[in-house]
């Protein structure tokens, strides 16, 4: 944890402390422990970090966590509770004892806990040291993400196969005599993910006018000749790592406007991928995409290309680095998406998204799924 050691020393702190369940990506990253209940993590420079857990979790934490493990009793928490201290104060008292000096905390640190901690030690705010560490993946993390991507592509195929084999009736797609809905396609993909150790949440299956809203989840029957945007970003239940991909398809004949948008988005994605390498700036990739779309007649404001070119993926589906207007320099080991899109109310939207690792010379693309607009 050299990056964390440096952040502690640079801040003039004695230790770093975090509090939360493994739903907090920083806590999960630092402890490699999966828990629905909050735990305390404390690290000092040059020492192995420590996780403080309830007694009932001690043995499991010893098996799973990369940190040293102590129970609340070991760390003194129960003594403070017995002395009548409220929960937040007892937790703060325990952290202060473990830290032994000024404490560096992340932006997600609970305010109630920070206020109590300030009565014992100076509290300093970290500006993203752990997020920066998380952004550069180890070879093991890269393989975890690559594995999730393989399952993601198979789930995408499950959903697109439903659309491909549907039959149009009166402009509405049907399967087995019933309208094919966004909900049915989403459920098919989620069932596949669950059967293969992953969990899908908020998967987008939008159609027609809804595709002009980038994050519209989609609802109701899918229609012939209209764009269908499928954006899926599942999490592996064992490792906690995500994948992320998007495809746009049409069952039938897309309008000329949608076909032209699709060609432009596909070419913009290829341009973005060609520019990825360690040392390139995310902001430069974004600006090149804006200029590319401008040359093709598409704006980048309230409509057209309305979001960043991409983002980091890991324990969170959106994390550092950014490929947006303020995106910094990419580093080897970053895992990022390239996902240009165009969105026009009254016409519809198109988005394509691939994911891969930044290398010293380019982009190790994990996404191998085909790109075909018409089914």
pLDDT digits (tens, 9 = 90+) for 271-305: 999 999 999 999 999 999 999 999 999 999 899 99
The tens digit of pLDDT for each residue in 86-108 reads 999 999 999 999 999 999 999 99
Predicted TM-score (pTM) above 0.85: yes
User: Which residues of the chain form CATH 3.40.350.10?
Assistant: 2-134
**Minimal CA–CA distance to 222: which of 245, 250, 201?**
250
Within 170-268, strands assigned E span 172-175, 178-179, 198-199, 204-207, 227-232, 235-236, 245-250
User: Which residues of the chain form CATH 3.90.230.10?
Assistant: 140-365
Q: In whole angstroms, what is the distance from residue 136 CA to residue 3 CA?
A: 11
Region of 171 please: left (phi>0), alpha (psi -120 to 50) or beta.
left
Its CATH architecture, for the domain 140-365, is: Alpha-Beta Complex (3.90)
Q: In whole angstroms, what is the distance from residue 236 CA to residue 250 CA?
A: 29
Region of 195 please: left (phi>0), alpha (psi -120 to 50) or beta.
alpha
Q: What is the DSSP letter of 226?
A: S
What is the third-level CATH fold of 2-134? Creatine Amidinohydrolase; Chain A, domain 1 (3.40.350)
The tens digit of pLDDT for each residue in 31-47 reads 999 999 999 999 999 99
């Amino acid at each position: 944890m050299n990056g964390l050691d440096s952040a502690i020393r640079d801040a003039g702190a004695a230790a770093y402390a975090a509090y939360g369940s493994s739903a907090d990506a920083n806590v999960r990253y630092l402890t490699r422990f999966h828990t629905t209940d909050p735990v305390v993590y404390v690290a000092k420079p040059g020492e192995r970090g420590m996780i403080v857990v309830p007694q009932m979790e001690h043995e499991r934490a010893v098996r799973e966590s990369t940190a040293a493990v102590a129970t609340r009793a070991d760390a003194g928490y129960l003594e403070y509770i017995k002395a009548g201290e409220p929960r937040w104060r007892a937790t703060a008292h325990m952290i202060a004892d473990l830290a032994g000096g000024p404490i560096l905390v992340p932006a997600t640190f609970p305010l109630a806990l920070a206020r109590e901690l300030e009565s014992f030690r100076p509290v300093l705010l970290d500006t993203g040291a752990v997020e920066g560490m998380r952004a550069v993946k180890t070879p093991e993390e890269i393989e975890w993400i690559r594995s999730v991507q393989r399952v993601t592509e198979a789930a995408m195929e499950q959903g697109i196969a439903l659309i491909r084999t549907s039959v149009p009736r009166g402009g509405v797609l049907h399967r087995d005599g019933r309208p094919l809905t966004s909900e049915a396609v989403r459920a098919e993909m989620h069932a596949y993910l669950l059967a293969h150790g992953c969990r899908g949440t908020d998967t987008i299956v939008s159609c027609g006018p809804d595709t002009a809203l980038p994050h519209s989840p989609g609802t109701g029957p899918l229609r012939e000749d209209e764009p269908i945007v499928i954006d899926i970003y599942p999490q592996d239940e064992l490792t906690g790592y995500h994948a992320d991909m998007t495809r746009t398809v049409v069952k039938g004949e897309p309008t000329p406007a949608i076909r032209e948008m699709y060609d432009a988005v596909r070419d913009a994605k290829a341009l973005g991928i060609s520019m990825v390498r360690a040392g390139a700036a995310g902001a430069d990739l974004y600006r090149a995409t804006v200029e590319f779309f401008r040359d093709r007649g598409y704006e980048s404001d309230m409509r057209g290309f309305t979001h960043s070119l991409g983002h980091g993926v890991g324990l969170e589906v959106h994390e550092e680095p950014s490929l947006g207007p303020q995106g910094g320099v990419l580093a080897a080991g970053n895992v990022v998406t390239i996902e240009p899109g165009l969105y026009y109310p009254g016409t519809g939207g198109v988005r394509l998204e691939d994911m891969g690792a930044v290398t010293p010379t380019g982009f190790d693309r994990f996404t191998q799924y085909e790109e075909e607009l018409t089914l």
